[in-house]
Structure 1
């Protein structure tokens, strides 16, 4: 089986075997999908996905609600849903709408009511004790599935999918952890599948298109069902037109959507088992589905392959794979696809580090539709880090004559240091940026340092992308020498007993800690926050914390490193009480904050016109800002 081959689900023809399964987007306004959502899903269809399964977070009953959910049970949502379906159909793809009820995996703050669940068994991801559903409430939720399905059909959707993955009361009814009922809906497997079968039946009777189930093949929680349980209950499920496979619960989102910090569960064998148990098409995925996974998923019995984050990183991935073209790869950082939503950054909607257009589809046209430059210019880019390379490649594609000068022997900038240990997948970003620069025809001059005095006058524009400086350890005014975390990442030696002071508050504290533990026997990480790496993305945080703790690292929160004496004694001050304690480690390491390398820009700005700066040369920030700065300037120059 090949990705380009057409397929069928029931009577629904699918032009190829690539599926886009969206994450939560928060493109919702008062329970209805927005034009931004239609553009976002339509872009993935236009990029080659034969089937779109979504949107995510479409609710069937008001007992599960919130500002990021679409009220699919409400007829007022039909108009917006129709716009979504039209956008996907206009691109030549099919769309099935995914319906859910969150059960006990959400909070009731939005509607100020208790959350309905199979039993009063709380999720580790929510703070509320849910209410066990009575029979009237069971019937009401099932009525909601039917009503929402009818609304989807009226809006033009080709089919309906019921969510029994994360954020799902359906999965909770299956679960021995979440379902401890003593009536006909609890107990043995035949009883626990009853609610799911009844919901599927109600939807099947209410609509004419195919009806599928998106199912977690294991909950990955203590007391939940496991991969080995699937053969016990999967054959009991009825009236499915297809099975879509996933893993985990809301409480295990760090593994369901595994990022840089954890080892992702391998779903190939569980999918193979599931495919052997059903006689309907199977949609397969890995927690990190990339292009290389398609063949192995087909071999495991999947009929279709679903991509999520990879199609956020490059919306045209499916078409590029079919055409044999290079695509930009997901770096699995979870910074914008998940943290952008959960952390409510930039308005709280989905975005992507390596593709600034993701989440901005209504504002930014696809790169292949960007107008050529009205006036072609000779442009010099100073600095071959992410911002400089992103700008150079796009500016050259628009017709500018672009030269990039890099002081080092290799391109990459900070990525050369960052792409190691748990962040090794940042190598993908570096490699894809270099490839884009080469494909665009940019002239690259390595080991070429630029000074204001020696700069040639013939450049029409100069873009300064010189990045940021290393943290200045002298500003701490310690009386004894300490080691910079960046030097540790580059191989600096340390003693057996190390104190790491996290004054950076991001993932570098974890990355440095894991590097230190390769040699150090004892490691204490001190942070002014409650714990180190406080601003690290929530989906990544548990994996980093557990990795350090598993190797014996200790955390001291709510303390600052006040002094390091001439004898190396470290004085810690409690930021809450003011109390002081001391430590006598062999080595003190400081993870500080970088500053903009802005000297060249400021000099050039005084001497000539058309000088710009981007990325960390403006202010050191996360990687997504470097991409965004570079692309934004290149689109308008």
Structure 2
């Protein structure tokens, strides 16, 4: 058997991804903020995603797509809370498949980090509920993300159960839209992550308190989505492996830890999750994070080794040889190339040329 490299296929359930160069979800904040077109993908989204598929990317995860209007990070986010949105995605998923790329979508809810401006407008400041397109966020506890953010309304148990249903409804629409993989957004300080971390979850009912209470919402969402998602197609879960709080001896706050992540990974696998997309941070605005090339890869490697769950690694992975080593050394099953793919839609093709691999190439470009 040949060694696993960046350009060997990877099979999850009955879905085979042609290579290990994947694109993570990266918000474009480019949908209409209101009206019938709210949350609907536009020509920008089509062009953005199609270019990376033509460039040989094996799997593309569409940006955080909200399961409800109030679950958007900004009013300009994509959504899958209605059938108009699902129908509009068909053009995108069809083109990605034509290029040999697997179309995936990340389903999320921003929780207390909702109702913000686009990042390039006033640095993405929080929108007050009384402002145009603003609203009051919801969260596990009435604790704001920062002093500049609106204090969220604490979710009732009935509202939590309703949100679980909304994730399932969005997953059903994702299938109708032609997606072949779904990722649940449990990272970067958004709603599911807010339930996981003791820093943001102060509840004393069944959805808070100890580890089992804090992971309850995540597992209920996984179960609800797995129930409507085909048995033959994979389900991903994105996690922030650490809040960068507990592990920092100079920070007295308690947060979600890498040990918690390994423990959660075992639970997620038992509930039908096929791959963990391992990132870090995002829960609080002032955590000390010392970023460096590949700085998050050890967290992915720990899950793969200690929980036995397939993982994708992300975080300042920019060089083809670096990406190749992560896969060939068994540290991750795939790499998620983010900002570098924004800079270069054809990164996968260039990496294949450098490393002696091969990716799908549109016939229209063969003369080149």
TM-score by length of 2: 0.81
1:234 correspondence with 2:253: no
* 1:291 corresponding residue in structure 2: 320
Contact between 1:35 and 1:83, CA under 8 Å: does it hold in 2? no
- Which of 298, 301, 308 aligns to 1:269? It is 298
Tell me the CA shift for residue 158 of structure 1: 0.4
1:81 correspondence with 2:114: no
1:10 correspondence with 2:13: yes
* 1:104 corresponding residue in structure 2: 112
* 1:23 corresponding residue in structure 2: 26
* 1:350 corresponding residue in structure 2: none
**Gap change, CA 1:96 and 1:300, over 3 Å in 2:** same
Q: Deviations over 1:556-608 (max 9, x none)?
A: xxxxxxxxxxxxxxxxxxxxxxxxxxxxxxxxxxxxxxxxxxxxxxxxxxxxx
Q: Deviations over 1:416-465 (max 9, x none)?
A: xxxxxxxxxxxxxxxxxxxxxxxxxxxxxxxxxxxxxxxxxxxxxxxxxx
* 1:212 corresponding residue in structure 2: 236
* 2:71 corresponding residue in structure 1: 64
* 1:322 corresponding residue in structure 2: 352
- Work out the CA distance in 2 between the residues paired with 1:125 and 1:23: 26
1:53 correspondence with 2:53: no
Tell me the CA shift for residue 292 of structure 1: 3.5
- Which of 154, 161, 184 aligns to 1:162? It is 184
* 1:310 corresponding residue in structure 2: 340
* 1:141 corresponding residue in structure 2: 163
- Work out the CA distance in 1 between the residues paired with 2:185 and 2:278: 10
- Work out the CA distance in 1 between the residues paired with 2:307 and 2:260: 15
**Gap change, CA 1:49 and 1:80, over 3 Å in 2:** same
Alignment of 1:365-404 (within 5 A): none
* 1:187 corresponding residue in structure 2: 209
Contact between 2:311 and 2:333, CA under 8 Å: does it hold in 1? yes
SS at match of 1:63: helix
* 1:432 corresponding residue in structure 2: none
**Gap change, CA 1:254 and 1:69, over 3 Å in 2:** farther
Unaligned runs of 5+ in 2: 33-37, 116-127, 246-252, 357-361
Structure number with the bigger relative contact order (C-alpha 8 A, sep ≥ 6) is 2
- Work out the CA distance in 1 between the residues paired with 2:326 and 2:147: 30
Contact between 1:271 and 1:300, CA under 8 Å: does it hold in 2? no
* 2:278 corresponding residue in structure 1: 245
TM-score by length of 1: 0.48
Tell me the CA shift for residue 207 of structure 1: 1.7
SS at match of 1:292: helix
- Which of 46, 50, 70 aligns to 1:42? It is 50
